[in-house]
């Protein structure tokens, strides 16, 4: 966890798995190795998401144990392929199969109904755009696979008895480390595609909804006279239903007219049907242009899965008192810049920044900028805000689109199309952050935009193939052992028969 935000010691990620992998490698049996992998994973989840305790209370250890079970497959694989004495063939297989199994485990727990892809191993490299060149090719999954492969190589180099497997592991680790910078150098952002100026509004810790709205409005009014193309407010920056609250809407319309820029407000309001939803609302001087309703809600934070069974958690924590209403689908917001030129925006809300497929959909639909609205005030003095903002950098690198995140209480930040940070407001600051974002040419797509989740699919195939091969090998070994036992039994029986025959034919004395 020291490799993740906020500690941010990214270099540790390349060796931090080695002690755990060593415990799995030296387990007395495959079953024990799987158990060690399970608790390795459970401890990681518990540490990575400790800040969820106010939201889920005693449910967090249960979540950690359930998700940790996925890492049991990693433990078994490490023991199966890397137990001493280690051969070159098994070392090569491990360098392929162990990262594949790791990615499968991350992919499985990334299903949004289980909580989503938070604290993936590749996210440790969010501040290193050269490494994120891998993300542009295969998404965050390829970065995770690379980090797992290097850790596996280090383990082999440290524990193999013979020189050849150590040399092979070292060579593979070096090649993997070099692949990210190589891909990064091949995808420089195209020049001449223009730029836009985006203002991110961060009102600070304001408990009262009206005071929060007014603080955001004051910060926005201060942008008057600046060449701003788009103003982005944080998640839940207004609790007014802008379709039915003319006073709140008039304030936003006036701000759009004063600044000359459209405003993307975060609406967290009870609708006419009585349900609460979270929307990103695009407002111009003429009124509401369009809105996007959040479709992937935060488990326990915005809804409680299986509420009839698990609803008791709301009584012992800050879990959602009632379920928010999700949207029905994603679409771009048809924003324009201050000259009236189209500036289609992929606006996603808070937790949705964790999902690679949503940003990829926005890029393929033609988004020029990814906009994330956030509110992590519940977790203000934890690692959560830094973990959250790191995801915007990764989504930018994956899609080749600049990305911004506006948060009520921080961190608000902006990243270019390769994930490089252009500016930020930390959790100790308020106001408006104005950033100039270089744009990529319309229609530009990264490899990941084009091919999607090929890496996890490939990892699933490799894992399945390895499992089948292991099963076949065990059956062959069982049959060979059976034949050997049969031959030994037959030989023993023959010797006994010969001895009995000799005793029978011997003359009596």
Q: How far apart are CA 369 and CA 435, in angstroms?
A: 13
| SS3 annotation, 258-297 | HHCCEEEEEEEEECCCCCEEEEEEEEECCEEEEEEECCCC
Least confident of 54-58, 62-66, 271-275, 376-380: 54-58
Q: How far is CA 168 from CA 87, 101, 102, 157, in A?
A: 11, 20, 21, 9
More confident residue, 47 or 508: 47
pLDDT of 507 above 50: no
Q: Which two tokens stand for residue 364?
A: 């393929």
Identify the CA nearest to 43 among candidates 68, 69, 13, 10: 68
Identify the CA nearest to 284 among candidates 268, 299, 252, 262: 262
Average the pLDDT over 307-320 and give the result.
66
Please state the separation of Cα 207 from the chain's center in Å.
Answer: 30
Residue 255: predicted pLDDT: 98
Cα angle 125, 129, 135; round to 5: 70
Q: How far is CA 23 from CA 43, 79, 442, in A?
A: 14, 9, 50
Contacts of 113 (CB under 8 A, 6+ apart): 299, 305
Main-chain dihedrals φ then ψ at residue 202, nearest 5 degrees: -125, 100
pLDDT of 504 above 50: no
Q: How far apart are CA 374 and CA 278, in angstroms?
A: 11
More confident residue, 53 or 143: 143
Categorize the per-residue pLDDT at 471 as very low, low, confident or very high, splitting at 50, 70 and 90. confident
3-state secondary structure of 426: coil
Q: How far apart are CA 207 and CA 213, in angstroms?
A: 11
Least confident of 276-285, 299-308, 456-465: 299-308
Torsion of CA 302, 207, 214, 434, to 10 degrees: -70
Residue 484: predicted pLDDT: 58
Q: How far apart are CA 134 and CA 210, in angstroms?
A: 44
pLDDT of 142 above 50: yes
Residue 342: predicted pLDDT: 97
Categorize the per-residue pLDDT at 509 as very low, low, confident or very high, splitting at 50, 70 and 90. very low
pLDDT of 25 above 90: yes
Residue 319: predicted pLDDT: 67
Contacts of 484 (CB under 8 A, 6+ apart): none
| SS3 annotation, 316-363 | HCCCCCCCCCCCCCCCCECCECCCCCECCEEEEEHHHHHCHHHHHHHH
Least confident of 191-195, 229-233, 248-252: 191-195
Contacts of 70 (CB under 8 A, 6+ apart): 41, 105, 108, 109
Q: Quick check: 394 and 368 in contact, CB under 8 A?
A: no
* Residue 289 region by backbone torsions, left for phi larger than 0, else alpha for psi between -120 and 50, else beta: alpha
Q: How far is CA 69 from CA 63, 73, 109, in A?
A: 10, 8, 10
Spell 283-313 as b/e; 16+ CB within 10 A means b.
bbeeebbbbbbbbbbbbbbbbbeeeeeeeeb
Q: Which two tokens stand for residue 451?
A: 């091919």
Average the pLDDT over 126-150 and give the result.
97
Residue 492: predicted pLDDT: 58
More confident residue, 10 or 495: 10
Residue 478: predicted pLDDT: 63
Residue 322: predicted pLDDT: 75
Average the pLDDT over 350-370 and give the result.
96
Give me the chain's average pLDDT, please.
Answer: 90
Least confident of 46-60, 327-341, 345-359, 487-501: 487-501
pLDDT of 459 above 80: yes
Residue 501: predicted pLDDT: 53
How do residues 398-454 score in pLDDT, each as one tens digit?
999 999 999 999 899 999 999 999 999 999 999 999 999 999 999 899 999 999 999
Least confident of 31-35, 199-203, 267-271: 267-271
Categorize the per-residue pLDDT at 379 as very low, low, confident or very high, splitting at 50, 70 and 90. confident
Q: How far apart are CA 228 and CA 39, in angstroms?
A: 50
Q: How far is CA 311 from CA 277, 300, 374, 470, 506, in A?
A: 19, 9, 25, 43, 88
Categorize the per-residue pLDDT at 506 as very low, low, confident or very high, splitting at 50, 70 and 90. very low
Main-chain dihedrals φ then ψ at residue 508, nearest 5 degrees: -75, 145
pLDDT of 314 above 70: no
Least confident of 313-317, 352-356, 386-390: 313-317
Residue 389: predicted pLDDT: 96
Q: How far apart are CA 291 and CA 451, in angstroms?
A: 29
More confident residue, 288 or 477: 288
Residue 60: predicted pLDDT: 87
Terminal CA-CA length for the chain: 85
Residue 261 pairs in a beta bridge with none
Residue 333: predicted pLDDT: 98
Main-chain dihedrals φ then ψ at residue 161, nearest 5 degrees: -80, -25
| Percentage, residues of the chain above pLDDT 70 | 89
Q: How far apart are CA 102 and CA 104, in angstroms?
A: 5
pLDDT of 29 above 80: yes
């Amino acid at each position: 966890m020291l490799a993740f935000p906020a500690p941010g010691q990214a270099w540790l990620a390349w060796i931090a798995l080695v002690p755990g992998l060593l415990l799995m490698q030296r387990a007395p049996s495959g079953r024990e190795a799987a158990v060690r992998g399970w608790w390795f994973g459970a401890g990681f989840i518990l540490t990575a998401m400790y800040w969820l305790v106010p939201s889920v209370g005693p449910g967090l250890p249960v979540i950690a144990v359930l998700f940790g079970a996925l890492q049991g497959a990693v433990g078994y694989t490490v023991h199966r392929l890397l137990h001493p004495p280690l051969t070159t063939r098994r070392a090569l297989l491990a360098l392929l199969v162990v990262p594949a199994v790791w990615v499968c485990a991350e992919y499985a727990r990334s299903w949004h109904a289980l909580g989503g892809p938070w604290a993936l191993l590749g996210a440790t490299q969010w501040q290193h755009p050269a490494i994120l060149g891998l993300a542009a090719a295969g998404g965050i999954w390829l970065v995770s696979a690379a980090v797992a492969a290097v850790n596996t190589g280090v383990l082999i180099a440290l524990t193999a008895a013979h020189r050849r497997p150590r040399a092979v592991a070292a060579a593979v680790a070096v090649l993997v480390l070099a692949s990210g910078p190589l891909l990064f150098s091949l995808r420089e952002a195209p020049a001449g595609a223009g730029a836009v100026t985006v203002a991110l509004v961060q009102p600070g810790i304001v408990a009262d909804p009206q005071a929060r709205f007014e603080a955001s409005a004051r910060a926005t009014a201060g942008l008057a006279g600046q060449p701003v193309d788009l103003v982005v407010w944080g998640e839940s920056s207004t609790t007014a239903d802008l379709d039915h609250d003319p006073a709140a809407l008039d304030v936003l319309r006036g701000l759009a007219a004063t600044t000359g820029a459209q405003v993307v407000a975060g609406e967290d309001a009870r609708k006419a049907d009585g349900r609460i939803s979270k929307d990103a609302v695009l407002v111009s001087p003429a009124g509401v242009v369009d809105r996007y309703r959040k479709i992937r809600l935060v488990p326990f934070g915005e809804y409680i899965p299986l509420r009839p069974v698990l609803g008791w958690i709301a009584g012992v924590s800050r879990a959602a008192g009632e379920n928010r209403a999700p949207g029905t689908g994603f679409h771009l917001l048809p924003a324009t810049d201050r000259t009236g030129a189209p500036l289609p925006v992929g606006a996603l809300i808070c937790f949705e920044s964790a999902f690679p497929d949503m940003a990829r959909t926005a890029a393929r639909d033609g988004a020029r900028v990814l906009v994330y609205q956030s509110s992590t005030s519940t977790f203000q003095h934890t690692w959560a805000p830094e973990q959250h903002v790191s995801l915007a950098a990764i989504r930018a690198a994956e899609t080749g689109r600049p990305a911004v995140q506006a948060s009520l209480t921080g961190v608000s930040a902006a990243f270019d199309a390769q994930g490089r940070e252009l500016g930020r407001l930390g959790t100790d600051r308020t106001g408006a952050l104005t950033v100039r974002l270089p744009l990529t040419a319309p229609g530009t797509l990264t490899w990941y935009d084009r091919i999607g989740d090929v890496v996890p699919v490939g990892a699933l195939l490799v894992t399945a193939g390895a499992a089948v091969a292991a099963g076949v090998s065990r059956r062959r070994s069982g049959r060979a052992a059976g034949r050997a036992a049969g031959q030994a039994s037959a030989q023993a029986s023959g010797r006994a028969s010969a001895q009995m025959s000799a005793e029978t034919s011997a003359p009596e004395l």
